[in-house]
Structure 1
Amino acid sequence: MTDIKNDYQYQPGFGNHFSTEALPDALPKGQNTPQVCPYGLYAEQLSGTAFTVDRKHNERTWLYRIRPSVCHTPFEPFQTKTRLVGNYTDESNVSVTPNQLRWSPFDLPTEPTDFVQGLHSIAGAGDVGVKHGMAVLIYAANKNMDDSAIHNSDGDFLIVPQQGRLDITTEFGKMMVHPNEICVIQRGIRFSVNLPDGPSRGYICEVFNGTWTPPDLGPIGANGLANSRDFQTPVAAFSQEEKPYNIINKYGGRLFVAKQDHTPFDVVAWHGNYAPFKYNLALFNTINSVSFDHVDPSIFTVLTCKSDKPGVAIADFVIFPPRWSVQENTFRPPYFHRNCMSEFMGLIHGSYEAKQGGFVPGGASLHSMMTPHGPDAPTFEKASTEELKPMYIAKGTQAFMFESSLQLQPTHWAIEESGKVQHDYFQAWQGLKSNFDPNWKPAGRQ
């Protein structure tokens, strides 16, 4: 999957201050807001952080566009079947349960449904109103976002396509995001999604505070995991379409819509470090144990959204890619554990090595904090008796995890209305029998 064809042009690197223009000399020289911008453009700043945040963490971009984004009618409630939640502390929105949860693949729509109309909140923690927390959503769509665009005022979207490419037009340029790629579209950025492969489905992790960055490598050193040069940011591209557009705003966990008589994708040039990006998961440089024991899943972190407490994340995006397993004298699958984190897992394609059945591409599972989980009974039996030779595991598979230090609460839609909860999931562990032998002695001991 490393040979994914790039349908558009991109700028490489993560965290760069990018400069890109679709017309020569469209970027002003020497200042951000000259009295008259080149080509008669408007200068507009998009700030991802407060003006006073220190230089190292300040995020903002200057856009030079045909019309400023303020040229729209007032926002009004947007009527749609979308089921979204903004406050996960309100039990009228969520179902509080410590049980292990697993969902079968979420349905693709049978009626015309675009990306926005196909959004549903699955689980989350916190409240968008106080800009703290995170959420898990799914999308299932079969229709292009014709003449409409959305921006998220609540947080940053990390989008994981599972079925079908996403042809995404943003104010910053275009991205084609394939299954086994991800993209991040930050708070406030307008974008529209077309579906070149027809019916499409995927997962979203939304963070209400902080931003998605690669994790610090620490003792790993300078190389490994996701390399900065492999992230791709779009180059400037603009449209001059004069036609009615709906501008949808996700605000407070609700959707609002405003109207304007021209495209929102009229940015001719931009410069800054606040910009959408995509990444090919096949380029992840996996770190693993080459001696004994199963290493913690933090070594598989692609992106993290840090909290104010060092080492504790609002959310981590973790993948379990194809890799060699070589540990000696070790139970190799993930061990049984209880965790102070919440773990939401999804499957893009293939078969996850810790489950023999039930966990299917397009489905999901949620293991809440301190709720025990681990390999199912058939996996345990197989891993306990197989020859420990070097094995290439997870071939043709890409599983992932949204992990959070927050207590995720599933929504009423996910539990009661989706029809996808596997109520017999607990049976996966009921076949684990007692192997205790009080007379056991180590080999060679009389």
Structure 2
Amino acid sequence: MTVLTYLTGFGNQHSSEAEPGALPIGRNSPQRAPLGLYAELLSGSAFTAPRADNRRTWMYRRRPAVVVGRYAPLPHGGWKSGAAEGEAAPPEPLRWAPLPVDGGGDFIDGLRSYAVNGEPGVQGMGALAYVATRAMGRRALVNADAEMLIVPQQGRLLVTTELGRLEVAPGFIVLLPRGMAFKVDPLDALARGYVCENCGAAFRLPELGPIGSNGLANPRDFEAPVAWHEPEAGGYEIVKRFGGRLWRATQEHSPFNVVAWHGNLAPYRWDTARFMTINTVSFDHPDPSIFTVLTSPSDTPGWANVDFVIFPPRWMVAEDTFRPPWYHRNVMSEFMGLVTGQYDAKPGGFKPGGASLHNSYVPHGPDSEAFGQASNAELKPHKLDATLAFMFETRWPLKPTPWALREAPLEASYADCWQDLKDQFQP
């Protein structure tokens, strides 16, 4: 990775300046901002939200974001939002093979929605894939409907935001606040991965409850960028996601012109290898909630708008226990992806870059091969290594998109992986 400097701590009050003296002292919006800059506030919560929930950042920039041309619709057939843009699907498990990594599009062009629910800008989520083979160049994206969680699966990315730059590789994630301009450029020949478009409450770290003060994802391991402003002059195309549609406008300057900033509404990168995994040291398979990295709560306590869950390398030591996930039907809907390695419940069928959808109350669990292996294995401690799977879990059923049902590599034979589970009852 390129050596960049970062600020640490999820939700911290950060401050950074690319030029000495650019940050005003003692006030947020002085009569004249330092160095001839403009003061601009980005709010991520209502002004009267409780102090602990208030999210905002002050930016000091060369030109304010209001200096932009008129917007016109920008067609994009692959990026969908809200339940209204999904299709009715049978209540059965769905799985997709990895997407081909061909074509010549940038990050925006390469976005495709697998499944959606809720309403744009209000609640719910979308599960997307991206394939990018070229940089966005003089093009920036602003999502006014949702924050975006990027999970790279192949290829490194340089993510440029209004507050600075983040470099990530597979094994990292990037969290981008709603309403903040950014662009995503592949640093390798191609890039492929997943995106969660979160239209509900902003992601935050889950409460730890009986776990105590340590465990899961530590706030200090989330890294925000230092201030950086683009030196090259020239115009930009601004692509805005608003009301479930894309719009485009042009402006004569770069949106990445913030010379200094302070606040707690920031983009972050996070290394999944820093997750402190909690697992059983006696018997039984714990609920997947112990693998929650970030949660977007809903108006019903404990029933998340979206949970982001990972299944990283970990030791398995449970005694007299079926160690893979048990067969289950959940009230929550589960969209899963595999970044690398092998998923223990589907040793042969689930490939890195692929995806699966198990909607609310759709039965699923280990395939026949995994069941046979786990039922007869010698139960000694062993480590699940060189693997990383994740899940976007949501309270509402996810509707697959037309692309997911008819153009994406949908595996029609997925359900066959359970057909060899015979009746073995022995009264």
What range is the shorter-chain TM-score in? over 0.9
1:426 partner SS: helix
Q: 1:243 deviation in Å?
A: 0.7
Q: Structure 1: which 5+ runs fail to align?
A: 439-446
CA contact (8 A) 1:241 1:262 kept: no
Q: 1:87 deviation in Å?
A: 2.7
1:83 paired with 2:74, answer no
Residue identity opposite 2:406 in structure 1: E
The residue that corresponds to 1:323 in the other structure is 314
Q: 1:278 deviation in Å?
A: 0.7
**Structure with larger Rg:** 1
Residue identity opposite 2:412 in structure 1: H
1:279 paired with 2:263, answer no
Correspondent of 1:407 among 378, 394, 397: 397
Residue identity opposite 1:402 in structure 2: F
Q: CA RMSD, aligned part only?
A: 1.1
The residue that corresponds to 1:427 in the other structure is 416
Residue identity opposite 2:108 in structure 1: V
Q: 1:385 deviation in Å?
A: 0.7
Q: 1:303 deviation in Å?
A: 0.8
Q: 1:124 deviation in Å?
A: 1.5
Post-superposition Cα deviations, 1:168-201, rounded to whole Å, max 9, x if no partner, equal: 1100000001100001001111001111112111
Residue identity opposite 2:392 in structure 1: F
CA contact (8 A) 2:82 2:125 kept: no
CA distance in 2, matches of 1:328, 1:79: 55
Post-superposition Cα deviations, 1:33-64, rounded to whole Å, max 9, x if no partner, equal: 11111100000001111222222211111000
**Paired residues for 1:40-439 under 5 Å:** 40-80=36-76, 82-88=77-83, 90=84, 93-110=86-103, 112-128=104-120, 131-393=122-384, 395-418=385-408, 420-438=409-427
Residue identity opposite 2:305 in structure 1: I
CA distance in 2, matches of 1:40, 1:145: 29
1:56 partner SS: helix
4+ residue runs over 4 A deviation: none
Query: Normalised by the size of structure 2, how large is the TM-score?
Result: 0.98
Bigger mean CA deviation after superposition, 341-350 or 232-241: 232-241
The residue that corresponds to 1:444 in the other structure is none
Q: May I ask how many residue pairs the two structures share in their alignment?
A: 427
Residue identity opposite 1:125 in structure 2: N
1:29 paired with 2:30, answer no
CA distance in 2, matches of 1:60, 1:291: 44
Closer, same or farther in 2 for the Cα pair 1:191/1:159, shift >3 Å?
A: same
Q: 1:357 deviation in Å?
A: 1.6
Residue identity opposite 2:82 in structure 1: N
CA contact (8 A) 1:97 1:409 kept: no
Q: 1:86 deviation in Å?
A: 2.4
Q: 1:95 deviation in Å?
A: 3.2
Q: 1:79 deviation in Å?
A: 3.9
Q: 1:6 deviation in Å?
A: 6.0
Q: 1:262 deviation in Å?
A: 1.1
The percentage of counterpart residues that share the same residue type is 52
CA distance in 1, matches of 2:50, 2:374: 50
The residue that corresponds to 2:15 in the other structure is 19
Post-superposition Cα deviations, 1:103-143, rounded to whole Å, max 9, x if no partner, equal: 00012232x200001111111111115x1111111111101
Post-superposition Cα deviations, 1:222-245, rounded to whole Å, max 9, x if no partner, equal: 001111111100010112432121
Query: Normalised by the size of structure 1, how large is the TM-score?
Result: 0.94
Residue identity opposite 1:27 in structure 2: L
Q: 1:391 deviation in Å?
A: 0.8
